[in-house]
Amino acid sequence: MVISFFLLLGGLYYALSPADNRNEIATVDIPRGTSFLGSVDLLENAGLIKNKYLFYALVIARNAQGNIRAGEYELSTSMSPLDIINKLVKGDIILYKVTIPEDFTVAEIAARLASHKLVDEKAFVSLCEDAKFITSLGIEGRSAEGYLYPDTYIFDKTIGAKEIIKTMVKQFWKNFTPEMHERAEDVGMTIPEVVTLASIIGKESGFKDEKPLISAVFHNRLKKGMRLQSDPTAVYEITSTTKVITRKRLLRRTPYNTYMITGLPPGPIANPAIDSLQAALYPASVNYLYFVSNNDGSHNFSPSLSAHNKAVIKYQINRKKE
């Protein structure tokens, strides 16, 4: 009886005693599939527990050995073994708030996620080009480019690239409503064509009010059999981080360069948001065929080449001379 009392007292003392009182913070990543014993080893290596055998006994007494959740944890040496176990069972893991801006490419999204160490950059891009996988997500095309919806997401280290892509594509289909499906049919466009055009519109302008006008230019050009001549398409496949528009780059013969091809590129060049998608489906009712930058992010629109040339002289050539 006395021995049992002292064992109980000793166990209680251990359960409530921290490794030390220095309050040193340790980040412990418990990958998916890690065994109970493996998880305890990670905690011991991080200096969070003094005696792993007593920790084993405490976990078993707590009936928690099968309930430790994988994930990345922020723990402290001043936490008691019982506090640590409770946190592991609760799954109080570190969450990452990641904002994906409009018109980021797959490569840019991969880089941003990799900066938070949520994915392997190359593996993420490769998965976005996995034909079987992207088909399972309802995507028609060679890549998930265009369907990774720009938004703010909350991810953790255990989710993995595949689930992140699924989450972002699910958000795309949530925003691409049945009414938009019907509108695409009404204007004689497939969903991939809508997304491709929207991606070009988004890359051309960040101004919401301008997007229907830019869409109108491209719709009008497509109807007339004119090349779209969109600068962003000419540099889409360039891997360099510097994508400055040069004459040499505008003359590159690639499947995406709309200075060289007639019609739309074979797929999206970025991941558009709702404003660009709506603009692709609802172009403004205007006869514009050209636009030129006003050098402030906005554009000047023209219905004819002569008017466009005058605008180029006004907003580009003369501005460079100033």
CATH number at residue 67: 3.30.1490.480
69 with 108, same domain: the answer is: no
- Predicted confidence at residue 318, as pLDDT, reads 52
Is 233 in the same domain as 255?
yes
- Check pLDDT > 80 for residue 8: no
Q: How far apart are CA 7 and CA 256, in angstroms?
A: 73
Contacts of 265 (CB under 8 A, 6+ apart): 196, 200, 233, 236, 255, 256, 257, 258
Q: Same structural domain for residues 48 and 82?
A: yes
Please write the tens of the pLDDT for every residue from 191-235: 999 999 999 999 999 899 999 999 999 999 999 999 999 999 998
pLDDT at 315: 66
- Inform me whether the pLDDT recorded for 64 exceeds 50: yes
321 occurs within a structural domain:
no
Mean local confidence (pLDDT), 163-180: 98
C-alpha span between 213 and 216 (Å, rounded): 5
Q: Which residues span the domain enclosing 199?
A: 194-288
Model pTM score: 0.87
Domain end point (choices 90, 119, 141): 90
The residue count for the chain: 322
pLDDT at 56: 84
pLDDT tens-digit readout, 264-301: 999 999 999 999 999 999 999 999 999 988 877 789 99
d(CA 177, CA 151): 17
For residues 63 and 131, membership in a common domain is answered with: no
Using the predicted structure, report yes or no on whether residue 11 has a pLDDT greater than 50. Answer: no
Contact 30, 70 (CB under 8 A): yes
| Domain-embedded: residue 220 | yes
Instruction: For 80-110, write each residue's pLDDT tens digit.
Output: 888 898 999 998 999 999 999 999 999 999 9
In a domain, 305, yes or no: no
Q: Give me the pLDDT at residue 5, please.
A: 39
Predicted local distance difference test score (pLDDT) of residue 271: 98
Q: CB–CB of 204/214 below 8 Å?
A: yes
Query: Does residue 111 share a domain with residue 60?
Result: no
The SS3 of residue 235 is coil
Least Cα distance to 229 among 272, 192, 271, 261 occurs for 261
Is residue 104 domain-shared with residue 167, that is, in the same domain?
yes
Judgement on whether residues 119 and 157 belong to the same structural domain of the protein: yes
Based on the fold, state whether residues 121 and 79 are members of the same structural domain. no
Residue keyed to tokens 């219905």: 303
- Return the structure tokens found at 90: 């609760």
Whether the pLDDT of residue 41 is over 60: the answer is yes
Number of domains in the chain: 3
Say what the pLDDT of residue 6 is.
38
